Chains A and B, each alone.
Chain A
Amino acid sequence: MGVEKALDLLRGKPRLVSIGLEHFSRELARQGVRVIHVSWRPRERLEKDLEDILSKIM
C-alpha cells in the first residue's frame, strides 16, 4: 500500500481530534496543537441491544 497519506501526516504538525479522556485533549492543547475534543460515554445497554436486534432483522 502507498505511504503518501502517512507522509502527509508527518510533514507538518498534526491536527487532532481527541475522543475520550479530556485529560489528553488538554495536554495536546497545552502544546499549542490544534485539537478538538469529542466527549464520549457508553451508550445505554438498551439502546445498543435494540440496535443489535434491528440490525439482525432488517
Chain B
Amino acid sequence: MPRVINIVKKGLYRDSVYLLHIGEELRKVSGVIDAFIAMGTRLNKDLMLREGFLTSDGEDAGENDLIVALKLGEDADIDNISRLVEELLTQHGARGLEVYEDLDLALNINRDINLALVSIPGRYAREVVMKLLERGVHVHLFSDHVPIEDEVAMKRYAYEKGLLLMGPEAGTSIIGGVAIAFANAVRRGSVGVISASGTGLQEVSVLLHRIGLGVSHGIGVGGRDLSREVGGLMTLFSIDVFENDPGTSIVTIVSKPPSREIQHMIFDYIASRGRKSYVTCLVGGEIEPLDPEASKRIVQTRTLHAAVLEAARITDPSLYSEAQKVLSIDGKTIKAIEDAIAGLREGQRYIRGLFTGGTFAYEAMVVLGRFVGDIWSNSPLRDDLRLRDPWKSYGNTVIDLGGEEFTEGRAHPMIDPSIRLKRIVDEARDPEVAVIMLDFVLGYGAHRDPAGAHVDAIKRAMEIAREDGRRIAFLAHVVGTDQDPQDLASQERILRELGVIILPTNATMALAAAMISLRRSDMDLIDMFSREFLRGF
C-alpha cells in the first residue's frame, strides 16, 4: 500500500501550469509513485479524494493554499522529497524571461509595449485591465469567470479609447503573425478573422492554412461579445479595424449563436458600412434572411469547415474545388469507417465526444443532432439535455472538458489531459459505446505532445473493450499545421498507429461518428451532410 502525504503551503500561490510541471518533476523521483499538486479549490480537493490523494491536512486547506499530495512507496526518503518540494516551489522565477513584480514599474521601464496578455483569475482582472487600457495598451484577456458587468465596463472604456480588448475568455488571437495564448502557426494571408470562440479561430486558421490561404490577423473577442449585455462592441470595432486594414480582403466572423437582436445588428452594420467580403459562421445559429444588397457582401455558413470553403470560393473559384478535396473524407478513411461499423457488436450504439475545445463540442452537437437526435452534455444545445452529473455520460454524450466544472483552479485540458485520459478509460467500460471522438489541439500554448500523452489511455480503453468481445471506434481531428511546434504529421502518425481514424475537420469527425453509430456509409447520408453543413447561404 502506498503511503499518502499532503504538504499544505498556506497562502502560497503558483499558477496551475507551473504546478503541473512540478508534478511531472516529482513523479520522476525515486520513491514517488504519483503526485497531485494544486491549489486547494473544491474541484481539486474532490479530484484528490476520488483518486486517493487527500488526507485530513489537505481537506483543511482553502482555495488560497497550495496542496502537494504524494503517494509514496516503501523506499521513499521523505526528508529528501520535502527538500525537493521546497526547492521546486521557490525556484519559481521564470528563468530566461525578463520578469517584473510590479506592472507599473514594468510599463514605466518598457514604454514600447503595445499589447498585454492577461491570464490571472477572472475576479481580479478588471483592476489590471483598466490600468493597461488607461496607459493605452491593447489587451488580450484570457481569464474566465470575469463578471459580465466588468466585461461591459472594460469594453466600453476600451472602445472610447480606440483600443482592442480581446476577451474575457479569449483563448486565441493571432496578431501580426504572432500566436497569442492558444494559437497555431499559420501562413499570413488576406483573411481576417473575428472570433468569439478560441477553438473556432484555431480551426478556421488551420484549415485556411491547409488549403493554401492565410490569416492577416485573428481577433478573439471573447465568448460573450455577441450577447445582449455586451452588444457586440468588440465585434463591431473589429469590423471597422479590418475595413481599414489594407492586408485584409475577406473577413470571417465566428461565434456560438448570438442573441438574435445582436446578430441582426451585426448584419445591418456590415450591409451599411462594409466594403469587403464577409463569411459568417454562427455555429448553431439561424441563417438570417438578407436583402439582395447585403447578400452580395455576406455569405452565411453553419460550420467552420464551410466558412473556410466559402473564403476559398470568394478568393478564387478554382481554389474552391481544390479546397473541397483537401478537406473531404478520402476513400481510405471511408473504408476505415466501414471496417469500424463491421466490428461493432449488437447493442453498441452510442457516441461519446470528449472535447478540449468548447466550440468543437458545440459544432459536433449541432451536426450530430441532425442525424442521431438528442445529445447530452455539460454544455448542451438545449437546457433539458444537461447531464445531471457531468462526470458520467448518458446515451449520446458530448463533453466540453474546458467547462468550468472541470477547470476551476486547474490548467486547461489542452495543457493538462489527465481528466480526459481517465474519462476515455471510463467510457470504454460502457458496453453500449460504439464510437469515441477526440480533438487534439496543437500550436503554441498547447501540450507539447498531446497525441503521445493519450497513447496509454487509448490502448487501455481498446483492451477493456477487447476483453469484453467488443471493438470501439476512435475518431480524432488534429487541429494543427506543418509549422506548429508539435508537427502535425508526427502527431497524426502516433494516433494512426494505434488504429485511430483521423478526420480532416471537426464537422467531418461528427459526420463519421454519426455514420458509425447509425451503421450507415451510404452516399445519401454524406450528401445530406454536404447540403446542410458544407455550403454557404
Question: Do B162 and A1 have beta carbons less than 8 Å apart?
Answer: yes
As a 0/1 sequence over residues 24 to 58 of chain A, the CB contacts with chain B under 8 angstroms (1 = contact) are 11111111011111111110110000000000000
A interface residues, tally (CB under 8 Å): 43
Question: Do B18 and A23 have beta carbons less than 8 Å apart?
Answer: yes
What's the nearest-Cβ distance from chain A to residue B137, in Å?
7
Chain A residues with CB below 8 A from B128, complex form: 19, 40
Question: Do B120 and A20 have beta carbons less than 8 Å apart?
Answer: yes
B121 lies within 8 A of chain A by Cβ: yes
A24 to B112, CA, bound (A): 20
Chain B residue at minimal CB-CB distance from A16: B115
A8 to B112, CA, bound (A): 12
B445 lies within 8 A of chain A by Cβ: yes
Band of interface residues on B? 35 or more
What's the nearest-Cβ distance from chain A to residue B391, in Å?
26
B114 lies within 8 A of chain A by Cβ: yes
Question: Do A7 and B244 have beta carbons less than 8 Å apart?
Answer: yes
A8 to B136, CA, bound (A): 12
Q: Which of B94-102, B347-355, B360-368, B428-436 contacts A (4 or more CB under 8 A)?
A: B94-102
Question: Do A5 and B99 have beta carbons less than 8 Å apart?
Answer: no
Chain B residues with CB below 8 A from A39, complex form: 92, 94, 99-101
Q: CB within 8 A of A37: which of B100, B112, B136, B163?
A: B100
Question: Do A5 and B138 have beta carbons less than 8 Å apart?
Answer: yes
Question: Do A30 and B237 have beta carbons less than 8 Å apart?
Answer: no
As a 0/1 sequence over residues 126 to 151 of chain B, the CB contacts with chain A under 8 angstroms (1 = contact) are 00100010001110001100000000
A29 to B99, CA, bound (A): 12
Question: Do A23 and B162 have beta carbons less than 8 Å apart?
Answer: no
Question: Do B103 and A42 have beta carbons less than 8 Å apart?
Answer: no
Q: Known: A33-B178, A36-B98. Is A22-B444 also a contact (CB below 8 A)?
A: no
Q: Known: A5-B163, A36-B106, A38-B100. Is A10-B176 also a contact (CB below 8 A)?
A: yes
What's the nearest-Cβ distance from chain A to residue B338, in Å?
41
A36 to B179, CA, bound (A): 16
Question: Do B119 and A41 have beta carbons less than 8 Å apart?
Answer: no
Chain B residues with CB below 8 A from A19, complex form: 103, 116-120, 128
Chain A residue at minimal CB-CB distance from B106: A38
Question: Do A9 and B115 have beta carbons less than 8 Å apart?
Answer: yes
Q: CB within 8 A of B64: which of A7, A9, A17, A42?
A: A42
A12 to B121, CA, bound (A): 30
A10 to B118, CA, bound (A): 19
Question: Do B415 and A23 have beta carbons less than 8 Å apart?
Answer: yes
Sorted nearest first, the 5 A-B pairs with minimum C-beta distance are: A20-B119, A23-B17, A14-B115, A20-B120, A21-B119
10 new A-B contacts, CB < 8 A, other than A12-B176, A14-B115, A17-B132, are: A8-B114, A9-B164, A10-B217, A13-B178, A17-B115, A19-B116, A24-B445, A27-B179, A29-B97, A44-B11
Write 28 A-B pairs (CB below 8 A) sorted by A numbering. A1-B159, A1-B160, A3-B240, A3-B244, A5-B162, A9-B138, A10-B216, A13-B177, A13-B178, A14-B175, A15-B114, A16-B178, A17-B106, A17-B113, A19-B128, A20-B15, A20-B120, A20-B143, A24-B117, A25-B97, A28-B180, A36-B110, A36-B113, A37-B94, A38-B102, A39-B94, A40-B120, A41-B13
